Chains A and B, each alone.
Chain A
Amino acid sequence: MGELVVDKHVKYILSVEKRKDSFESVVLEHLRMNGAYWGLTTLDLLGKLGALDSNEVIQWIMKCQHESGGFAGNIGHDPHLLYTLSAVQVLALFDKLNVLDADKVANYISGLQNEDGSFSGDEWGEVDTRFSYLAICCLSILHRLDKMNVEKAVNYIASCKNVDGGFGCTPGGESHAGQIFCCVGALAITGSLHHVDKDLLGWWLCERQVKSGGLNGRPEKLPDVCYSWWVLSSLIMIDRVHWIDKDKLVKFILNCQDTENGGISDRPEDAVDVFHTYFGVAGLSLLEYPGLKAIDPAHALPVDVVNRIFFQK
């Protein structure tokens, strides 16, 4: 069996950070904050977060903060919950949450909650259960869950449950592993997992494993490494991870590596990117692959970072 080429992946991530010379890389600059989270969390899981200058990163992050308190994907762009969570998560990795005016960020987030308990991603009003997760996870890290109406938020998420036990973007939306992760994660953080029918959802999730051992995100789709995170962390949160073949999944993820140049792709032989590199490594961490730091399935941060946030006085 192959092994995880740690050093190559570290090199790959550090090189991507500097790349501005292709259309494919600049066209993603509006979501650089997410990219920072994927790259840096991977480095931390591999034990190599020290390879970067944290001050430079933190300075850049703070320049992305809007006067409303929310964070944008890059300097000069509009704020959104997607980038606000990533910003807070990266600061948590560096143990620099104290540079934030937590109330300011919390006010931005709670201001995005709607009457029915759902969350909009930004002032323009798009509703999606992903945004519920972003808000809940972020406020949880900032110790300010009391700034939102948790009961309504939970009830809204529960209203997005489908007959197959999964969750979609909005009530009646198709079940999707990514949306399921967000809903289960949000329910886990708020202590509301009793809203989940664990056997029913576990059934839907374990059927995502295909012959090659990889996981897909929906029925009839090809396996993709990113679902190694979303399906797996959901299964762990509902105590059903033994319903998938873990060894086969490990093999699948390792086969998605570019062992020459580093990085992980969505499936074997495809081009690599930071997004899939993060999800592959995070998935391996959940599968207890040796040499990796443990990762918290609900907050998607290394366990020692989460312990620092919640248990350090």
Chain B
Amino acid sequence: MNLSSFWSLIPLIDEVGFIHPSQFVTLNKEATSSLKHEDANFWSRDHKLAISTDVLLPLYNAAKDAFMHAISQYKRHGNLSDASGYASNLESEAMKHSKALLLLSCDFGTAWNFRKLIVSKKQKIMLFLDELLLSALVLSYSPKSEKAWCHRRWVIKMIAGKCSTLQDIAGKESELVEKIAERSKMNYRAWNHRCWLVSYMTTEQVLHELKKSRNWAGLHVADNSCFHYRTRLMLRIMEEHCHKLEDGTSDENNEIYQIWQEELDWNEALIKRYVGREALWLHRRFLSLSWIRHFTTTLGDTSNYRACKSSINGDIGIFMDNELHLANSCSTIPDNDFEDFQAQAMYSATYILWLTKQISDSQGIELPEKPNLGSLETMLNMACPERSFLWDILTRITGKCDEVLKENNC
């Protein structure tokens, strides 16, 4: 397999695809200007490269053999003094083959590692940024490639200390994830990367991310990962706030209270508009529990959250009333045409049940009036009768902790 035509095409490409050879005909027909390169195995135009699926196996084998050979040569001779340029030649050969190989097999860890080795020896910002370009190219057609995401984190960690534009980089990474997430829904690795970036962001950036990503979230209400990202941002905001309270550098509670209220109101609107969406209800579990733990007064205050109690004394009774009202409004099942009404009823009931149990488990917080567990169980059995065994279990463990608490308080 002659790799030279493959290599000549690689340098400036921003998109790669593996396509059936019959589709080359279609590509050629659609070409509006004359072909840059004609070959039975490769098609290239405007920085796009298509590789015929017919040739993938021999191409891979050739690229892998070339790479493995090159790195063994490099390991043997690469550290010698380089008067003739021999060592640097070995190095660039191996780098070239690593790139070709990674385009075909994006999780070939040894190839990514070799690139890390070379780039970390040279310590040049431009080379680190080149690695970001390569991994972005790979992610454009393999958005779940674990090694590609990992490579990006390695680059960012390496340049973190040296780069004054780290915030810029974090911001651009965040945008990249959103772009990839648009085409690759609920991509765990992509969103995990975005959560990882949060520790490199300033407080202002975090607040900005929360506002900026809201529209996208509202258009992707089934994407649990994107709501978890909001959880991550809000927890970071809460952390900062708690530190400031402890330091005594701030008693500004209004901003964080507003953030929580806005998120709760927005979540409620989405729940009413998009019937039966699990991700929305799970996000509400987080919002409500953290609201209760942070903003309500406690009886006897044995809470772990003592250091970070807001001076805003939210009323837990009023809060729960609103939640029960919301859950009740979601519990009617007007028709069985689609499963969404049943799902909505089930999620709203499990939401109240879950919240009740978590509040009961939280020290120092007491519900003035406990929701009717019996009627919740009835609702769940109506919405989802095949899981009645589970509703029985869950209502029992919720009821049990109340008994335990009563026993302890007597």
Q: Which residues of A contact B (CB under 8 A)?
A: 21-23, 26-27, 30-31, 72-73, 76-78, 80, 122, 124-126, 163-164, 168-170, 172-176, 197, 199-200, 203, 206-207, 211, 218-221, 242-245
Q: Is B109 an interface residue (CB 8 A)?
A: yes
Is A80 touching B109 in the complex (CB atoms < 8 A)?
yes
**In the complex, what residue of chain B is closest to A172 when comparing beta carbons?**
B232
Is A78 touching B195 in the complex (CB atoms < 8 A)?
no
**In the complex, what residue of chain A is closest to B117 when comparing beta carbons?**
A124
| Residue from A30, A125, A172, A176 in contact with B109 in the complex, judged by beta carbons closer than 8 Å | A30
Is B196 touching A170 in the complex (CB atoms < 8 A)?
yes
Is A125 touching B157 in the complex (CB atoms < 8 A)?
yes
Smallest Cβ distance from A205 to chain B, in angstroms? 11
Is B191 touching A174 in the complex (CB atoms < 8 A)?
yes
**Contact A220 to B285, CB < 8 A, known contacts A77-B109, A78-B109, A125-B154:** no
Q: Is B225 an interface residue (CB 8 A)?
A: yes
| Residue from A27, A173, A221 in contact with B195 in the complex, judged by beta carbons closer than 8 Å | A173
Q: Is B53 an interface residue (CB 8 A)?
A: yes
Of the stretches B34-42, B56-64, B249-257, B366-374, the one at the interface is B56-64
Given contacts A22-B57, A168-B192, 15 further A-B contacts (CB under 8 A): A26-B57, A30-B110, A77-B109, A77-B110, A122-B113, A163-B231, A163-B285, A163-B286, A170-B196, A174-B228, A218-B186, A218-B225, A220-B279, A245-B386, A245-B389
Is A23 touching B107 in the complex (CB atoms < 8 A)?
no
Indicate with 1 or 0, residue by residue over B380-395, a CB within 8 angstroms of chain A CB atoms: 0000001101100110
Complex CA distance for A244 and B386, rounded to whole angstroms = 11
Is B387 touching A245 in the complex (CB atoms < 8 A)?
yes
Is A126 touching B195 in the complex (CB atoms < 8 A)?
no
Main secondary structure of the interface of B (DSSP, over half): helix
Report B-chain residues with C-beta under 8 Å of the C-beta of A80.
Answer: 109
Is B195 touching A220 in the complex (CB atoms < 8 A)?
no
Is B56 touching A23 in the complex (CB atoms < 8 A)?
yes
Main secondary structure of the interface of A (DSSP, over half): loop
**In the complex, what residue of chain A is closest to B229 when comparing beta carbons?**
A174
Is B224 touching A219 in the complex (CB atoms < 8 A)?
yes
Report B-chain residues with C-beta under 8 Å of the C-beta of A73.
Answer: 109
Interface magnitude class on chain B = 35 or more
Complex CA distance for A245 and B385, rounded to whole angstroms = 13
Report B-chain residues with C-beta under 8 Å of the C-beta of A26.
Answer: 57, 60-61
Is B387 touching A218 in the complex (CB atoms < 8 A)?
no
**In the complex, what residue of chain A is closest to B225 when comparing beta carbons?**
A174
Complex CA distance for A230 and B189, rounded to whole angstroms = 18
Is A163 touching B394 in the complex (CB atoms < 8 A)?
no
Report B-chain residues with C-beta under 8 Å of the C-beta of A175.
Answer: 228
Complex CA distance for A243 and B390, rounded to whole angstroms = 6
Is A219 touching B278 in the complex (CB atoms < 8 A)?
yes
Indicate with 1 or 0, residue by residue over B188-231, a CB within 8 angstroms of chain A CB atoms: 10011001101000000000000000000000001111001101
Q: Is B108 an interface residue (CB 8 A)?
A: yes
Report A-chain residues with C-beta under 8 Å of the C-beta of B232.
Answer: 172
| Residue from B61, B188, B339, B354 in contact with A218 in the complex, judged by beta carbons closer than 8 Å | B188
Report B-chain residues with C-beta under 8 Å of the C-beta of A170.
Answer: 192, 195-196
Q: Is B104 an interface residue (CB 8 A)?
A: yes
Report B-chain residues with C-beta under 8 Å of the C-beta of A242.
Answer: 393
